[in-house]
Amino acid sequence: MPNNTQITFEIVKPIGVLMQNKSGWNREVNIVKWNEGKAKLDIRDWGPDHSKAGKGISFSQEEVQILKSLLEDIDINDIES
């Protein structure tokens, strides 16, 4: 187990890239294990070689099921471009 100050990660499965910014970082959706924990759906910005990660959010399997259900009911036209 890593010490408390070291954050470790393993990208278990890449899902896709949502966007790329001008600096070359990508906002990605991946399945990630953080600190040797359980794999979670993760959305965050990643550096080009995945050695650095920005702030993001991780979802458990239960949270993904709820989010998926909520997104199915959303009217995409309510979101401004």
Q: Where are the domains of the chain?
A: 9-75
Q: Which CATH number fits domain 9-75: 3.40.630.30, 3.30.1340.10, 2.30.31.70, 2.40.50.220?
A: 2.30.31.70
- What's the pTM value of the predicted model, to 2 decimals? 0.86
- What pLDDT is stored for residue 80 in this prediction? 86
Question: Per residue in 40-62, pLDDT tens?
Answer: 999 999 999 999 999 999 999 99
Nearest residue to 50 (alpha-carbon basis) of 32, 76, 72, 66: 32
Instruction: Tell me the C-alpha distance between 24 and 37, whole Å.
Output: 28
